[in-house]
């Protein structure tokens, strides 16, 4: 991925691609106590605010 993850809303698959893992692994990561309230807004897209929170918890890829 050439552009930063937080440049626009992203799907779960795009987040998985960013971290070079499969979607199931990202779902598992997001189920931790810190991030379990982070759910996609507007259908299946994670907002930029949510993506920043995910990166803050998981770190940069």
What pLDDT shows up at residue 21?
96
Q: Domains in the chain: how many in total?
A: 1
Query: Measuring CA to CA, how many Å separate 7 from each of 2, 31, 32?
Result: 11, 24, 24
Average pLDDT, the chain: 91
Return the pLDDT at 1: 60
Range of the domain at 30: 5-58
Per-residue pLDDT for the chain (61 aa), expressed as one digit of tens each?
678 899 999 999 999 999 999 999 999 999 999 988 898 877 899 999 999 999 999 998 8
DSSP state of 3: S
pLDDT digits (tens, 9 = 90+) for 35-49: 888 988 778 999 999
pLDDT at 57: 94
């Amino acid at each position: 991925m050439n552009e930063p993850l937080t440049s626009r809303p992203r799907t779960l698959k795009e987040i998985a691609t960013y971290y070079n893992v499969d979607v199931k692994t990202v779902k598992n990561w997001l189920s931790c106590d810190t991030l379990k309230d982070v759910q996609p807004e507007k259908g299946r897209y994670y907002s930029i605010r949510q993506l920043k929170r995910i990166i803050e918890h998981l770190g940069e890829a």
